Amino acid sequence: MKAIIFDIRSFSVHDGPGIRTTFFFKSCPLRCAWCHNPESHHPGIQKVTGTYKIGQSSVPCFKQVGEIITLNQAISKAEADRLFYEESGGGITLSGGEPLMQADFVIALLEAAHQLDIHTAVDTSGYAPESVFKEVITKTDLVLFDLKIMEDAQHKKFTGKSNRLILENFKWLMRQKTEVIIRIPLIENITDTMQNLEAIRAVLKSTKAIPRIDLLPYHQTAYNKYKQLDLTYGLKQLPNYPIEKQQQIKTYFNDLAPVVSIGA
C-alpha cells in the first residue's frame, strides 16, 4: 500500500503530545486563503522550478514536491523514532494537506501503529465524507481538529468550501470518546472577528470537555512557497499576526480548556 506525502518531520513538538513524527500527506479539498502548506494542494508529485545562488549568479534548478511512501516505509520511520516517543509520551501524527484524502493508507498506518503500541494523532480539517471520517476517527487516539470560520458564506469565501460537512463531522466527533485538540487559525479580519470568535466559543461551550486549544497565528513564511509553486497568494500583504491580539484571544478562550496555547 502506498501514499503520496510531501514531508516527514521527526522531533516535532507542535502536532500533539510529546515528541512526534509527523507525516504530511498531499491533497486537500480546501483552499484556505492563509494556507501555510500550499505544496499539499496538488494531489500528485510535482516538479517545480527554483533558483540557487552561486556567488552573485542565480542558477535555475528543479525541485520535486511530493514522494511515494509505502506502508512499510512509514512504519519503519515510526519505529526508528520510537525511543523518543517512549521518553516524551509522543507518537505519530498524520497531517497534510488533508490526510483523510488518502484514507485507506491512513487507516492502515493507524492500525499498524497501534499494533506496535505507538500513540497516534490525526490532524484534520474535518472535510471528508461522513463514513470516511468516522472510520478514521475510531482508529486514532487523538484528533487535532481545525475550527476556522463558523459562518458558512464566509467559510466558502475564504476556504473554497461550505463548512456544513465539517460541522456535522465535528458534532459527531464531540460525542465520541476520542481525545480532541481544537486548532484555531488567527487571521486578521477573517477568523478573528468578534462574531467568529463568539461563534467558536459558543460551539465549544456546548460540547464535551476539551483538554487543549491551540491558537495558530498567521505568519508570512509561506509566501516563497507560493512563488515557487507558481500559485497566487492572496494574503501576501498581510503582516504577521499581532502579539497583543494573540494574548487577548488566548484570554478569551482561557476558561474553555486547561491548556490554551499560542503557536504551533
Taking CB under 6 A as the criterion, the residue among 5, 30, 187, 222 binding ligand SF4 is 30
Q: Is 28 in the site for ligand SF4 (CB under 6 A)?
A: yes
Binding part of the chain for ligand SF4, among 96-104, 108-116, 175-183, 222-230 by CB under 6 A, reads 96-104
As a whole number of angstroms, the distance between CA 138 and CA 140 comes to: 6
CB 192 within 8 A of CB 14: no
Sign of the CA dihedral running 48, 49, 50, 54:
positive
Contact 97, 28 (CB under 8 A): yes
Give the nearer residue to ligand SF4 in terms of CB position, either 43 or 82. Answer: 43
| Binder among 5, 8, 19, 35 for ligand SF4 (CB under 6 A) | 35
Of positions 16, 17, 96, 217, contacts ligand SF4 by CB under 6 A: 96
Give the total of residues touching ligand SF4 (CB under 6 A).
Answer: 11
- Say if strands 2-12 and 179-186 run parallel, antiparallel, or are unpaired: unpaired
> Residue 8 corresponds to which cell in the numbers above?
516527514
**211, 257 Cβ separation under 8 angstroms:** yes
* Binding of ligand SF4 by 32 (CB under 6 A): yes
- Binding test (CB under 6 A) with ligand SF4, winner from 16, 66, 91, 97: 97
What's the rounded Cα separation, in Å, for the pair 10 and 13? 9
Q: Does 213 bind ligand SF4 (CB under 6 A)?
A: no
Per CB under 6 A, 5 contacts ligand SF4: no
Strand locations in 147-228 (E): 179-186, 212-217
| For ligand SF4, the closer CB: 12 or 75 | 12
Q: Which is nearer to ligand SF4, 101 or 110 (CB)?
A: 101
User: Cell digits for 157?
Assistant: 469565501
Shortest gap between Cβ of 3 and ligand SF4 (angstroms)?
Answer: 16
In the numeric block, which cell numbers belong to residue 23?
Answer: 507525516
Total count of residues recorded for the chain: 264
If the CB atoms of residues 96 and 112 are measured against ligand SF4, the closer one turns out to be: 96
**Which of 37, 261 has the CB closer to ligand SF4?**
37
Helix (H) or strand (E) holding 162: none
Binding site for ligand SF4 (CB under 6 A): 28, 30-32, 35, 37, 40, 96-98, 125
